[in-house]
Each structure stands twice: as structure tokens, then as C-alpha cells.
Amino acid sequence: MTAVDRHVHLRAGGVSLVLAVHDARLPVVVHWGADLGDLDDAALAALERAVAPQPFGYPVDGPMPVSVLPEASTGWPGVRGVTGHRAGGAPTTRFVVTGLRVVDRDAPWSQALELTARDEAAGLGLDLVVEQARSGLVRLRAAVTNRADGVHDVAGVLPALPVPARATELLDLTGHQLRERSPQRLPFAHGRHERTGHRGRPGFDSAFLLCAGEQGFGARTGEVWGVHAAWSGDQRFVAERSYHGVRLLGAGEALAPGEVRLAPGETYTSPWTYATWGHGLDAASGRVHDWLRARPDHPAAPRPVVVNTWEAVTFDHTLSRLTALADAAAEVGAERFVLDDGWFGGRRDDRAGLGDWAVSPAVYPDGLWPLVDHVRALGMDFGLWVEPEMVNPDSDVARAHPEWILRAAGGRLPGPGRHQQVLNLADPGAYAHVLDGLDALLVEYPIASLKWDHNRELGEGGLPPDGRAAVHAQTHAVYRLLDELRARHPGLEVETCASGGGRVDLEILQRTDRVWASDSTDAHERVGIQRWTSLLVPPELLGAHVSSPVAPTSDRALPLDVRCAVALFGHLGIEWDLTEAAPAERARLAQWVAFYRERRGLLHSGRVVHADVPDPAYGLHGVVAHDGSQALYAWVCTASSDTWPPPAVPLPGLDAARTYRVTLDGPITTLEGVAARWGVPLGWVDDGGVELPGALLERVGLALPVLFADRVLLLRAEAVA
């Protein structure tokens, strides 16, 4: 066999990924980061020689290449890219490349490296794909095939990318229900930082985007590299640093023992591992946003203002109450009315009826048509809540088919979660039951959207009758179910929800049009939740609702303007019993809805930016048009500051060569807080605005008002020259 020896340079969107293949071994990353320009083969080879470390102190003599699927057979003692065994044997791999090509891809992709390899001793074949989007985003996926007799147990496939030594700090996310995606930082120290979850979904505490960067990197400062596991089941994230000078970031699926056992000829394909780089987190996340928006099936129509019924009525469904709510929703300018939990079977509370996907004749004797017709007559479309993967033991389907419920060891039922168990969607009967039930609803009623919930973690409830862990098969079944429903009903939108933000990843987003970031509608909490969810999710896909005056998840009371201003920077919705709102409140809310509808073209297409504000009490975020013509910012105070007044704050993302007029914007047209209370002036605001070059607004900044805690002010920057 002729040894494959080649350099591959993928370039797009200001990012270069240089890979080297020598002696037919798996590709090694020479460079991942800033665009290196157009380099020929000689220059790429010279670059590799220039950055190659001295082979000193390695476990083996000579070089120790660490590929994108790291192998112990090169001498590397750390995390391995492909793990498994054949009846206890062949625990390591030594893949030999048998084919390699670089191909052009259709938009939103640019180019891809496609590689095949074999390990004859282990009896494995490998297909590896490394793709780069036109935005500069990179993704990797590996398929492992059993090429020998007997069963091969796959323990894991973990694509990994190296980062340079200047990446000395890690950032990932954690959290819990009502406080999803809370950031945490730590030094990139020797050893392994691993975040693995076995919840049957990514979970509230998913690492989400595991980042390594230069010390103190922020939204606009410092180089940063990040990886994401695009998988809606159990995930694994790894950051590893060894004393050999190697720093790796890896992400993939977390497999349970025996979960994937390949018979001869069978293949396991890993989820996509996405990798992004940038100068600051805004640039790194912007590459993800740009890729998502360039997809041909990305939502293109204006994102409708949503009214969801849950916090307004919970399970107390009556036609008169819901039609009154719909009337109030139309009055404030809503465009979509979503009927939440409680419309089906015996579902009068959360203990019964789940899994019986037929309209309750006791609550809706004429079906949903009276409500649907009323909603549509008001000019709104109609949405419906479902939770297809779960079942109450107290339901018709559970009584008729107990064999469809996932079990624990020995066949026992696991402990209930939210009074629920999990339907085994890998079972053809259970799958057909759910598909047929949802399809019948979508055929009968003009349903524009489904809010698709997932309220129970699988935990140990992951054993089908064959006794093997079921998360892998369950996750693929959910994907098939979503794909089939959308194929049957073109134009159907789906929102992913999992007790809030428990299932948010880039693979579920290939099948959904919106994420419910959190069950918390408290605007104070939502500032952080939405900020960190936006690392991957652009505003038009991020559900953000205006709560009632007192948020039911926290009992925190906040002014209407604050609740609206926070929800503005997402896909705006309302989670409030508007029939109880005073006329003045509804009128003010209508102003905000109108403002959102006027500005959503910018909010849902522009580049998301954040200022690096050193005062933790304050934050500034916004959206800047890609052509630099305009921007909308929110100046947010969430706590009492130890500094009064705040220093000048940069307005990020503006065109340095253009001049902008900055004014207050939105329904909040006068200063709140200190200025209103004590009449303290702020020159440029009192003058009706200020005109300055974009370079000065970003580098020097602008003095912004002192605000009381939990207050928001909107600023508009419009190019005048």
C-alpha cells in the first residue's frame, strides 16, 4: 500500500485549518485559527517544520503525532479518539489511511476533507469527514465500521482539536432548571477537565460550548477556541493538557457500556463535533450564527409574536377563558397563539393522560375547532404543546402497552420523574403510536407550530427489552420522528423545550425552529440565560417571553418596560394572563410589540455583540447590521454597583470609518433611575443624541446613564456618514 503524504489547507470566513497526513496516519492539525492566506504545498510543509516541537521527553522515540482522533499507537498517553474492544481484545487502534480527497461543498459549506482508513488488526474501517463552512465554522464526524468477524463493542468516538499554548484559560457552562447556561472559568491546568452527562438529553448543566482562550478573554478580546457536541442525548466534553505540551478540546457522544455493539458490517457514526475560533467570544459565536442563517431551511419569514397559555391558565382550560385570552393577545399585536399542556386525554394535572394524543372530549366537546377558528379569525396562527417521548403510567397507552415503557435492570420501572416514564421510541409500535397521533392532529387542524417538550431525564430508565442502554437509539428515533413529521407537513415549525432549556444543541436545531431557553421568565435571570444561550443560538431562534408583573418562577416583581426590553432580543413572546392586565399595561405592551415588529428585521439578521464591561452590575449587548448601517443596544443594570457613575462603555461592532448618531430608542424615551429621581443631567442624552465616528464609539466609548438595579435602557446607533 502506498503511504499517503499530504497537507490540506481549508480556508473560509477568516479561518484556516491546516492538516497534515504523513505515512498514511490519521490527520494532525498544524494550525487552527486566523487565516494564513494562500499557501502552496512548499509553504505548508515549511510551516509544519517550523512549528514542530522537539521530540524530547515523549513516551516513544521520535515524534508523537496527536491526530484529530488521538491514538495510543503514536505514543500519545492521553484521551483516545476511538475506544472499544472485541471480546476484550483490540483495545487500541492504528489506522492506516487508504484514501483522501478534498471536495467543494454547496453553501453554507465551503470545503471538506474526506478520508478513509483501515486497522486490519482491530478489524475496523474508518470514514472521517472534516468540513469547513463559509463562515469559518469547522465540524468533524467519524464513522467506525466492523470489518471482521464477531462483535465489536464501541466505547466512544471523540474527535479532538489542539489549541496553542497561549490558550491558558477554560470556559464552559453549567446550571440548573430556571438558571440554565451559567458560565464558569478555570485555568487550563495539567490533566483532564471532563464534563459528561447521562441524562438522556444535554441537560441544564451541559458544557454547551467548551472554550479555551487567552488569559482573560472576553466578548471582544483575546483569541478563543471552542467545541460543541451536536447531540441531543448523552454528551461528553473534554479539555486535556499534558506535560508534553499538547492541549486538546474534544466533544462527542457519551456511550454507556454495551450501548453500541457492531455486528460484522455494521457502522457507528459519531455526532458532529463543531469547532469555532475567533478574536473574542462574539467572533467565535458569530461564525455559528452565520452558518445557521445560511442554511436553506433557516426560518426566513418574520418571527411571529407568540402568546403561550401556560402561565396564564396552566391546566384550567375553558373555551371562554382561552378565547378571552386570545382576544387580549390580538389586541396587543400577537401573531401566534400556542395552546400549552392540558388539552388532551385525561390531562387535568401532570399526573395523568400523557401519551394519549387525542383532544379531550370532556374539555373540548367540539374538538379544538372553536378555539382554532376564533384564534385564526383574529389574524393569529395556532400552535400546540406536545410531549411525545414521555408517558404517564396513568394513561390509556401505558395501560394498553406497558411493554413500550423503558425499564431499569431486571425489568423494574425506574423511579418516576415528573410523574412520568419514557416511551421506547425505538420500538416500532410505540413509534407508530406517537407518529400517527401527532400526524392526525396536524392533518385535522391548521397547526403552525408544535412546542415539543421533554420533561423527564432518562436516568436509569434506559433499558429496552434487550437490556441494552437506550439513549443512543432513543435519540435517533426522536430525530426520525421529527424528520418524518416535517416531511409530511412542510412549513410546520417546532420549538424544542425540555423543562425549559434542557435540550439545546446544534443537532436538535437542524429539526427545530426555536429553543425555549428556560422556564424562567424572570427578566433578571433571563439576561444571563439569553446571553450565554446566544453563544450558539441567534436571536431569531431563541424564545424570550414577557412574563406577568410578578414572575411565577421567582416571585420577583419587575416593571413592564424591563420585561419587554429583555425579551426584545430574542423571538419575542408573552407568558402572561393578559385578561388580568390593566388597560394601560396592555397599551404599553402593544407599544413594545409594535417596536419589536418594526425592529425584528435588524434583531434577527444582524451580528450579536457584547461589550466587555468590567463592572459586574452592568452589561451592554446589542445587534449590529452586517452592513454597519445601524445598531440597537441594551444597557442593562442587574445589581447595585460599587461605582457611581459608570465609566464610558464601548458600543461594539460599529464600522470604524463611519459616523453614527446615537440616541435613546424604543418605548423607553426618557431616563429612569437617578436622572429621573434627582434630575441629574447627562449631556448627550439631554441634547437628543450625539454624533461620533464608529472608531471612537468602540475604542473610547460613551458615558451611559446610572441605572437602578433591574433596569434597562435602549440605544440606537444610526450611520449618518
Cα angle, residue 85 at apex, residues 243 and 462 outer, rounded to 5°: 100
Helix extents (H) in 22-142: 41-51
Q: Burial level of 297, CB count in 10 A (0-12/13-18/19+)?
A: exposed
Q: 546-573: b or e for each residue (b if 16 or more CB lie within 10 Å)?
A: bbbeebbbbebebbbbbbbbbbbbbbbb
Cα angle, residue 320 at apex, residues 319 and 322 outer, rounded to 5°: 65
Provide DSSP, 257-281. TTSEEEPTT-EEEPPEEEEEEEESH
612 is catalytic: no
Integer angstrom CA distances of residue 514 from 28, 497, 537, 627: 37, 9, 9, 26
Nearest to 330 by CA among 586, 559, 566, 601: 586
Q: Which three cell numbers stand for residue 78?
A: 492521553
The 191-196 sheet, strands edge to edge = 160-162, 247-253, 235-241, 191-196
500 with 542: CB under 8 angstroms? no
**β-strands 179-187, 223-230 pairing:** unpaired
Q: 285-296: b or e for each residue (b if 16 or more CB lie within 10 Å)?
A: bbbbbbbbbeee
- H/E segment holding residue 201: none
Nearest to 651 by CA among 682, 717, 697: 697
Q: Whole-angstrom Cα distance, residue 599 to residue 647?
A: 29
Backbone dihedral angles phi then psi of residue 335, each to the nearest 5 degrees: -125, -10
341 is catalytic: no
Beta bridge partners, 267, equal 145
Number of helices and strands in the chain (H, E): 14, 36
Q: Burial level of 215, CB count in 10 A (0-12/13-18/19+)?
A: exposed
Cα angle, residue 515 at apex, residues 472 and 574 outer, rounded to 5°: 145
Backbone dihedral angles phi then psi of residue 382, each to the nearest 5 degrees: -120, 135
Q: Whole-angstrom Cα distance, residue 481 to residue 424?
A: 12
Nearest to 409 by CA among 475, 477, 465, 474: 465
Angle of the 319-332 helix axis to the 583-603 helix axis, nearest 10: 60
Nearest to 560 by CA among 531, 583, 533: 583
328 with 574: CB under 8 angstroms? no
Candidate list 282, 453, 655, 710, residue with the active-site label = 453
Beta bridge partners, 663, equal 716
- H/E segment holding residue 449: strand 447-452
Candidate list 119, 513, 519, 561, residue with the active-site label = 519
| Cβ neighbours for 223, distance < 8 A, ≥ 6 positions apart | 33, 34, 166, 167, 213, 214, 217, 277, 278, 279
SS3 state of residue 305: coil
Which residue numbers are catalytic? 453, 519
